[in-house]
Amino acid sequence: MFLVDLKQKRVVPDNEIKAKIARRRPYRHWLRDNRIVLRGMFAPASSPAAKPGELVRLQHTFGYTNEELKMILAPMAARGQEPVGSMGNDAALAVFSDRPQLLFSYFKQLFAQVTNPPIDPLREELVMSLESFVGREKNVLDETPGHYGGLKLYHPILTIEDLRRVRASAHPGLKAVDIDILFPADGDGRDLEEALERVFREAEERIAEGYTILILTDRHVDEDHVPIPSLLAASGLHHHLIRRGLRNDAAIVLETGEAREVMHFALLIGYGTDAVCPYVAFKTVHDLAVTGMLGVDKSPEEAMDDYITAIKKGLLKTMSRMGISTIHSFFGSQIFEAIGIDKDVVDRYFTATASRIQGIGLDEIARESCMRHRKGFPKDGKPSKLLDPGGAYHERRGGEKHLWTTEAIYKLQQAVRTNDYALFKEYTRLIDDQSEQHVTLRSLLKFKKREPVPLEEVEPVDSIVKRFVSAAMSFGSISRETHETIAIAMNRLGAKSNSGEGGEDPARYVLLPNGDSKRSAIKQIASGRFGVTTEYAINADELQIKIAQGAKPGEGGQLPGHKVTAEIARVRHTTPGVTLISPPPHHDIYSIEDLAQLIYDLKTVNPRARVSVKLVSEVGVGTIASGVAKANADMVLISGHDGGTGASPLSSIKHTGLPWELGLAETQQSLIQNRLRDRIRVQVDGQLKTGRDVAIAALLGAEEFGFGTAVLVTLGCVLMRKCHLNSCPVGVATQDPRLRARFAGKPEYVERFMRFVAQELREYMAELGFRTVDEMVGRTDVLEPDRLEGHWKASKVDLSAILELPANGNGKPALHATRRHERRADTPLEAELMQLAEPALKHRKPVEISLPIRNVDRTVGARLSGEIVRLHGAKGLPDDTIRVNFTGSAGQSFGAFLAPGVTLKVSGDANDYLGKSMSGGRIIVVPPEGATFQPHDNVIVGNVVLYGATGGEVYINGIAGERFAVRNSGASAVVEGVGDHGCEYMTGGVVVVIGPTGNNFAAGMSGGIAYVYDPTELFDTRCNLDMVDLETVWDPEDEAQLRRMLERHYAYTRSARAKMILDNWQAHLPLFVKVMPIDYRKSLERMRMEEDRDRETVAATEEVYNA
């Protein structure tokens, strides 16, 4: 806290003000005297053995499937973390499923995008917490020792043993009582409602009697009693008590057989449950361990512990996806959207949750529970020994319906191989006809009858395909062959392919002899910034900022070291064999104005490219899209939740994000209402497969369309969902050279697919009377909902909100983009800089320039650097060809994308993002002439310096803010102190810090080296030691490198601190700590050995890879 006290007329330091407040009362004593914890929470979880036959009955009753046991629970218990999967989710929404679904599956998680950053719960663990207090809360306006009186929980999962202790509590402040959450067998909605009322009434009575912990339990389920869905009971009670002003009087603890997946626990806590004891899940885990179904040898106790660990990790991930760091504030935060639930039910039991397509009511909810209950307690005797097969994750006979069936895949592949449009139509019929079982929202929309136009008057295929793009897939997640084949095909069509994150080999910028091009027109800018160099940026027709990905929005990624081959490392500007981590947020986008700044940066370095922003569908995406439009993006991409992935946690694939129909329609409505639709284009992707899909997308407001999974299928993908295992049998999604040799895809296949889709779209257009796609965009009036009278659940869905056409008070609103973004005029400073640098740009003649600079001068140097690389290639100009001396305060992104040959010096200070994506050159920052303060005590540059830099040097005579050199992969830097999270996610380069560091230094640092001057010898307390070792500087090579850098630092900045160290080198050298990533050292050693053996690096990485 920074505080000015106008009465005392001084600045009060943070530690003074906080110490004073913290000692106002004897809080420490109050805590010591009143703290209540569950003793035994750290003892191994006791393992409840189930009675024979009882477990399977319970499993049926709570809807366990065989698939869940195998794919979810067993991996959690075996490895202590959530299982990982790949490809997108193409199963039906819960409300369309004929089979009884848990109420949990009608909710989707929300996640942070643009307006707030998700957190990395692993690398920034120190800010996360699962602690909470359970019990009666007192008047917040007062403070007494008794205010701290609840039960302190270290995490919200209670074992059966823990719950027993809670029940037995003799503490006067902790009185627990059971309330059954059951309703009569075969009951309907009315019975369910009455049962809920009874629960609420009982809760009120118990609170009045002084109980402070209400244990909702479905343990007494039997033949005549069905468990109320635990989420409905808990959230309903939570809201009921809020309305009655009683919520803080007692805690809600849930003992339920229903909860088992991370999503279930997240929902329960997010809707106001204080703690959960999942007794059937525990029994199941016990059973799996005893019967040897875990795949590893483990005692039931260990399995239980690991299962709980997996849930805890999953909860942290769920919270951090939304940017929430403590479970205390996640509690009751309702970071979810309901999809397919009736509004009355939501308003009453899940108050203030978004539910936009209506759906099931209490009747259907009761019916689903009763169906499950009857499987557990059949009227005629014993339950089946076999559980339901499931099929939510993989297509299974007799399981959930998926769109990509074996037949559909086969037909599509045959159609594109043999260029058979008739066969393609058979494929689309399989996909589009969902009359038997609906899977997608769009299957519920139908076209109105309209006056048709002749097919030949409709915009030709060649023109339509230009609106098509292939979805972003990184080279790394799919094989080189696949990546290049797609690029060639899209370039032939005049459409666009997407590089995905992870850079692109510059060799692909050169045309092939036959005129083909492997260059991806769209270059993605993702949070890892791998391979994002000046050269990469200027070789794009479109720069796409990937905010989120449909399969795992709000999460980062990790490419394990063994997958980082020499080729991938080269393209990404990293070291082979070193793990690459993409952080969950873009560290230069924590907020909407930051996004505007990144867009400004990209348009500065490459003024020719359009800039797009990729978002994922969720409630509120429309308002974010409006913010994106105001940030001057040219296009916004709305991705569906069902987009593919190379590797994501299964729960993310399944439970985050929404269908694109909702996101797209919301975006369209929001842009129109805000009068912004005419200035931004809208693109959509997410399991688009047919001409009908594209027609509906256009009518809902999209003017461009992306295809991902379908493209892979044309190239041979058979949806084995093994991308994350590197064992793709058709060579599409693997880096294994043996498997890659099996790749049999051809550009023609992709081309044919795109043309077929365009052709089919034309047929719909003719039928609907549209001659051009532009005419068609946003015409929701041509669509109408197709009511499904037959289906007991789907018939309740109401899509009218999707079809609403908003007014904007401005006559007939524009439905599609009509304005082209004009290229931003150079700022006066840019113009002057370009003019003065002309001799260097044109004739490589050295120039020296002096100019004033202000904070409103942003991204200075990028315009110049873009030009240098365009004219002279990635190598730029010889060192120091252009020297610019600025005086004043440099604005954000100073020296972003800096090219070799440019030296920028500021006398003054600089703001955030200095040297972002720096590719070469030199930046020097020194205090202003005449300043009398001590540089090494004062902050001179802002946060997030050198984000994603791949080269160049930086010398800063002063302290930098937070996240210095985050994701640096090649720049070297000297600085006099850094804030928290220094060198986070660094993969290469060298950083020297000759002053204080903040907390969490080197978190996620997998490569590069840091030298830290540490006279306190306490650096290890501020360093995150998960991935790095600390050493002294003993190696003469290291010493020489360090000394050389300090000498240059002194030469460029006249740093007093550097001089002091250099003047007495032998005394100060031992005070330096070398921060060495463990991975990196191994890779370097391996490479050195290979060099000694005089072999190529490629061979070394083969070895790494095969290991």
Partner 1 sequence: MAVDRLPYQNSAGFVKAHGLYDPRYEHDSCGVGFVARLDGIPRHSVVVDAIQVLENLEHRGAVGGDKSTGDGCGVLVQIPDAFFRSVELDFVLPDPGQYGVGMIFLPSDKKLAHRCQALLENLVEAEGGEVLGWREVPTRSGILGELARSTEPRVAQLFVGPGEWSLEAFERKLYVVRKLAEREVRTWAEDTSQFYVASFSSRTVNYKGMLTARQLPTYFQDLKDPLFESPFALLHERYSTNTLPTWSLAQPFRFVAHNGEINTLRGNINRMRAREATLASELFGEDIEKIKPILDESGSDSAIFDNALELLVMAGRSLPHAMMMMVPEAYGPKVSMSADKRAFYEYHAALMEPWDGPATLAFTDGRYVGATLDRNGLRPARYTITKDGCVVLASETGVLDIAPENILGACGQGACFSWI
Using CB under 8 A, which of 291, 514, 1021, 1066 touches partner 1?
Answer: 1021
Q: Which is nearer to partner 1, 436 or 929 (CB)?
A: 929
The contact mask relative to partner 1 for 321-340 (x = CB under 8 A, - = no) is -xxxxx-xxxxxxxx-----
Whether 1007 and 573 have beta carbons less than 8 Å apart is answered as: no
**Residue 489 corresponds to which amino acid?**
A
Instruction: Tell me which stretch binds partner 1 (CB under 8 A): 63-71, 72-80, 124-132, 371-379.
Output: 124-132
23 binds partner 1 (CB under 8 A): yes
Q: Which is nearer to partner 1, 179 or 327 (CB)?
A: 327
Distance CA 509, CA 516 (A): 11
- Kindly report the number of other CB atoms within 10 A of residue 72's CB atom: 25
Distance CA 135, CA 631 (A): 46
Minimum distance of partner 1 from residue 585's CB (angstroms):
8
**Residue 668 corresponds to which amino acid?**
Q
Judged by phi (left if over 0) then psi (alpha if -120 to 50, else beta), residue 476 lies in left
Distance CA 260, CA 251 (A): 21
Q: Which residues pair with 710 in a beta bridge?
A: none
Instruction: Tell me which stretch binds partner 1 (CB under 8 A): 181-189, 554-562, 706-714, 809-817.
Output: 809-817
Instruction: Tell me which stretch binds partner 1 (CB under 8 A): 99-107, 239-247, 447-455, 509-517.
Output: 239-247
121 binds partner 1 (CB under 8 A): no
Q: Which is nearer to partner 1, 22 or 455 (CB)?
A: 22
28 binds partner 1 (CB under 8 A): yes
Of the candidates 139, 163, 162, 137, the residue with the CA atom closest to the CA atom of residue 150 = 137
Whether 986 and 1007 have beta carbons less than 8 Å apart is answered as: yes
Binding residues among 884-943 for partner 1 as defined by CB under 8 A: 888-892, 908-912, 927-933, 937-940, 942-943
4 binds partner 1 (CB under 8 A): yes
Binding residues among 1049-1088 for partner 1 as defined by CB under 8 A: none
Q: Which is nearer to partner 1, 6 or 510 (CB)?
A: 6
Residue 1078, helix vs strand vs coil: helix
Whether 940 and 888 have beta carbons less than 8 Å apart is answered as: no
Using CB under 8 A, which of 45, 354, 868, 884 touches partner 1?
Answer: 354
Binding residues among 957-996 for partner 1 as defined by CB under 8 A: 959-962, 977-981, 996
Q: Which is nearer to partner 1, 174 or 288 (CB)?
A: 174
Question: Cα–Cα distances in Å, from 1066 out to 466, 1038, 1043, 1071?
Answer: 66, 14, 11, 10
Q: Count interface residues toward partner 1 (CB under 8 A).
A: 145
Using CB under 8 A, which of 39, 436, 507, 810 touches partner 1?
Answer: 810
Binding residues among 149-208 for partner 1 as defined by CB under 8 A: 149-150
1036 binds partner 1 (CB under 8 A): no
309 binds partner 1 (CB under 8 A): no
Sheet holding 969-975, edge to edge: 847-853, 882-890, 902-910, 919-926, 951-956, 969-975, 987-993, 1007-1013, 1072-1077, 1028-1032
Minimum distance of partner 1 from residue 3's CB (angstroms):
4
The distance from CA 299 to its chain's CA centroid, rounded to whole angstroms, is 35
Q: Which is nearer to partner 1, 627 or 951 (CB)?
A: 627
Using CB under 8 A, which of 168, 170, 352, 510 touches partner 1?
Answer: 352
Q: Which is nearer to partner 1, 314 or 891 (CB)?
A: 891
109 binds partner 1 (CB under 8 A): no
305 binds partner 1 (CB under 8 A): no
Structure tokens at 271: 């809707």
* Pairing status of strand 902-910 against strand 919-926: parallel
812 binds partner 1 (CB under 8 A): no
Minimum distance of partner 1 from residue 621's CB (angstroms):
8
* Pairing status of strand 882-890 against strand 902-910: parallel
**Residue 475 corresponds to which amino acid?**
F
Of the candidates 509, 540, 543, 541, the residue with the CA atom closest to the CA atom of residue 525 = 543
DSSP letter string, 152-176 = EESSSBPPHHHHHHHHT---TT--E
Minimum distance of partner 1 from residue 357's CB (angstroms):
9
Instruction: Tell me which stretch binds partner 1 (CB under 8 A): 238-246, 287-295, 601-609, 897-905.
Output: 238-246
Binding residues among 250-269 for partner 1 as defined by CB under 8 A: none
Instruction: Tell me which stretch binds partner 1 (CB under 8 A): 46-54, 139-147, 637-645, 719-727.
Output: 139-147
- Kindly report the backbone phi and psi dihedral angles of residue 55, in degrees, each rounded to the nearest multiple of 5, phi listed first: -60, -45
Long-range CB pairs of 512-518, under 8 A, 24+ apart, other chains included: 512/488, 516/488, 516/491, 516/492, 516/747, 517/487, 517/488, 517/491, 518/484, 518/487, 518/488, 518/491
Distance CA 984, CA 961 (A): 13
Distance CA 607, CA 1066 (A): 51
Instruction: Tell me which stretch binds partner 1 (CB under 8 A): 519-527, 747-755, 790-798, 851-859.
Output: 851-859
Using CB under 8 A, which of 665, 713, 730, 1023 touches partner 1?
Answer: 665
Minimum distance of partner 1 from residue 108's CB (angstroms):
14
Distance CA 553, CA 533 (A): 25
Whether 512 and 492 have beta carbons less than 8 Å apart is answered as: no
Whether 195 and 228 have beta carbons less than 8 Å apart is answered as: yes
24 binds partner 1 (CB under 8 A): yes
Give the length of the chain. 1107
342 binds partner 1 (CB under 8 A): no
**Angle at alpha carbon of residue 411, lines to 409 and 414, rounded to 5°:** 105
Binding residues among 612-651 for partner 1 as defined by CB under 8 A: 619-620, 622-624, 626-627, 630-631
Q: Which is nearer to partner 1, 18 or 1059 (CB)?
A: 18
- Kindly report the number of other CB atoms within 10 A of residue 385's CB atom: 7
786 binds partner 1 (CB under 8 A): no
Query: What is the helix (H) or strand (E) element at residue 132, kind and residue range?
Result: strand 132-134
Minimum distance of partner 1 from residue 908's CB (angstroms):
7
Q: Which is nearer to partner 1, 194 or 937 (CB)?
A: 937
1017 binds partner 1 (CB under 8 A): no
Distance CA 86, CA 88 (A): 7
Whether 323 and 332 have beta carbons less than 8 Å apart is answered as: no
Q: Which is nearer to partner 1, 445 or 757 (CB)?
A: 445
Instruction: Tell me which stretch binds partner 1 (CB under 8 A): 131-139, 526-534, 607-615, 757-765.
Output: 131-139
Binding residues among 556-595 for partner 1 as defined by CB under 8 A: 590-593
Binding residues among 476-535 for partner 1 as defined by CB under 8 A: none
Q: Which is nearer to partner 1, 785 or 888 (CB)?
A: 888
Minimum distance of partner 1 from residue 196's CB (angstroms):
19
Q: What is the largest CA-CA distance in the chain?
A: 94
Distance CA 22, CA 28 (A): 9
Using CB under 8 A, which of 116, 414, 437, 1041 touches partner 1?
Answer: 116
Minimum distance of partner 1 from residue 595's CB (angstroms):
10
Using CB under 8 A, which of 33, 54, 131, 880 touches partner 1?
Answer: 131
Q: Which is nearer to partner 1, 309 or 437 (CB)?
A: 309
Instruction: Tell me which stretch binds partner 1 (CB under 8 A): 11-19, 209-217, 222-230, 1061-1069.
Output: 11-19
